[in-house]
Structure 1
């Protein structure tokens, strides 16, 4: 800044006022300072400016170690939204395990002088752990909408933003009902995962409302391998003509297994996934699935957090609607 001031023939305080767009600077002075900035390639230090204003403008983000598409996509969406708002982010990845491990992550982020905390919550156990921790005043949960009455997050009193998973499941199953399917199996995710619970609940709700039998679920671990293995269990369901898979990766493995058994998709069995991963368009056949807008989820979560920090941001719905993307893996009976 002093180099810019020297070249422009002004004080470094004047350079600071130009950078901060002060109205007290004459146009000719502003032009001269800006020319010096451009010539020297000067970039203001975000850290120095934050210190000068007594703020770090840093957000902490914590999630469990996961290679799964949902949590990592939520993280990317939140990080991008924070950058657009002029905040940096520090991420702490926790290995699933004792509550002490999660507490260490919170303690580390608070020690990094974060102004607020985003917690990406995939499992019921994670919510239970949060209730035992000393969280910052400005804290937002992403990916955990209120569920059943005994949802452990009810007692936390924290703002929550997420995609309506149960609604997405209802869209998928109603799509199959509308095409004449009456025996619809479900390949669900791991026990204790909030998204898996909500999607299974949506599947059951639609079948119950239609007066149809609810077959036993097959349980997987979100992986394509689990989908491949589950095919044998699902095919034991008498009269099965369609499967709602809890995510696209399991749907991929399921389609592979069904094809290996000589069954055609969708002529013999229709398959619907969930997430709309980029590769779902290139499945054989292209997969009908439920799209989640992780960019909007991240932007909304950051907006809620910034409002807690006193920033003026537009209000946004905290419950984000998914949408069904119809492709070639489903057909009418």
Structure 2
């Protein structure tokens, strides 16, 4: 008689000589009980934390959240919805812009929400925002989302959002915009003004004094804060802001602006409002026999894919969209669950490559 043995030994092989297929082991999913044991609290306390009950102290809530992260507990969305009438879904409103920043933000938000255990429902809007924004936020509210994030690069869109009174927390991602003062409506962003200051200061440190800004649309918050950062860095260095032009973010407009500068006079250095803007400028200069960076230094903004293989590789300000999305989701969930979360804007980083160099003397 065969003895019971370890899996895969001769004792486990049937008389026919065919080894049974190996069955993959499946680990039991962590439960609320597991969380309660690790946190040293009752099952009911963990449940209250998960459902956002205000009857739990901040210290206990923090201990439970740490235990949730430690054991890897994830809420059962269907069960949570039945018990709490919450969908564990975050609504995202976007203007549908094809520009790099809004698209990268949207993709990163969806991924960050999923990592946090939330689904996402995305609704696109277009002008007139006074009509489409309330409709979009209303439809998301009707589906029972826990909170809404609005990617609001445009001033007109943000104005429409401020007029909507939602029953769930609403977070606007809008550069340089202060919160409204309403408890359930607040803003978050990357510190793009700081990024513009860093780009301009880099050019100042290289000895440049005639520093232009080929900017983005001032209908966008991004365009406004990048221009403001350029101006403030120059004024702090006792320099007068040089040539400025407002554009539409497109490489074609930037190319035409570059040709205009060739006719009217190329500055020592240029802070371009985006990498696509920088790309258009550089093409215009190269075609006209003007060398980058020997004749003019150029700094971009965004650090889009491929910047490191531009000719020349582009000095630029890197926006960390995954970090922005993770922080935005954390801020929204904190509002949903009544937890205070740091809302300090995400800092960008300056990436120095070959499109900038020291000012030529003499």
What TM-score comes out, normalization by structure 2 length? 0.75
Q: CA deviation at 1:136?
A: 3.2
The answer as to 2:224 corresponding to 1:213 is: no
CA distance in 1, matches of 2:275, 2:155: 22
CA separation of 1:168 and 1:192: change in aligned 2, threshold 3 A: same
For residue 319 of structure 1, what is the aligned residue in structure 2?
345
CA distance in 2, matches of 1:59, 1:190: 30
For residue 356 of structure 2, what is the aligned residue in structure 1?
330
- Alignment match of 1:95 (pick from 108, 126, 140): 126
Aligned residues: 292
The answer as to 2:167 corresponding to 1:136 is: yes
For residue 58 of structure 1, what is the aligned residue in structure 2?
89
Which shows bigger deviation, 86-95 or 302-311?
Answer: 302-311
CA separation of 1:133 and 1:100: change in aligned 2, threshold 3 A: same
CA separation of 1:19 and 1:325: change in aligned 2, threshold 3 A: closer
Q: CA deviation at 1:239?
A: 6.1
For residue 143 of structure 2, what is the aligned residue in structure 1?
112
For residue 35 of structure 1, what is the aligned residue in structure 2?
none
Q: CA deviation at 1:297?
A: 0.9
Which protein, 1 or 2, shows the higher relative CO under an 8 Å CA cutoff with sep ≥ 6? 1
SS of residue paired to 1:90: strand
SS of residue paired to 1:276: coil
SS of residue paired to 2:238: coil
Q: CA deviation at 1:53?
A: 3.0
CA distance in 2, matches of 1:75, 1:198: 21
- When Rg is computed on C-alpha atoms for both structures, the one with the higher figure is 2
- Alignment match of 1:265 (pick from 256, 278, 292): 292
CA distance in 2, matches of 1:332, 1:250: 22
CA distance in 1, matches of 2:191, 2:119: 28
User: Does structure 1 retain, via aligned residues, the 8 Å contact 2:189–2:345?
Assistant: yes
What TM-score comes out, normalization by structure 1 length? 0.81
Instruction: Tell me the alpha carbon deviations over residues 38-77 of structure 1, each in whole angstroms, 9 at most, x when there is no partner.
Output: xxxxxx9955333333321000000112011111111122
User: Structure 2: which 5+ runs fail to align?
Assistant: 1-27, 35-73
CA separation of 1:200 and 1:276: change in aligned 2, threshold 3 A: same
User: Does structure 2 retain, via aligned residues, the 8 Å contact 1:131–1:156?
Assistant: no
CA distance in 1, matches of 2:265, 2:158: 38
Instruction: Tell me the alpha carbon deviations over residues 195-241 of structure 1, each in whole angstroms, 9 at most, x when there is no partner.
Output: 11000011111122222222231121111112111113334665611
SS of residue paired to 2:286: helix
CA separation of 1:72 and 1:102: change in aligned 2, threshold 3 A: same
CA distance in 2, matches of 1:233, 1:81: 43
User: Does structure 2 retain, via aligned residues, the 8 Å contact 1:59–1:114?
Assistant: yes
Counterparts of residues 1-333 of structure 1 (less than 5 Å) = 20=31, 22=33, 47-54=77-84, 55-146=86-177, 154=180, 158-235=185-262, 238=265, 240-310=267-337, 315-333=341-359
Q: Pairwise CA RMSD of aligned residues?
A: 2.4
CA distance in 2, matches of 1:83, 1:18: 18
SS of residue paired to 2:201: helix
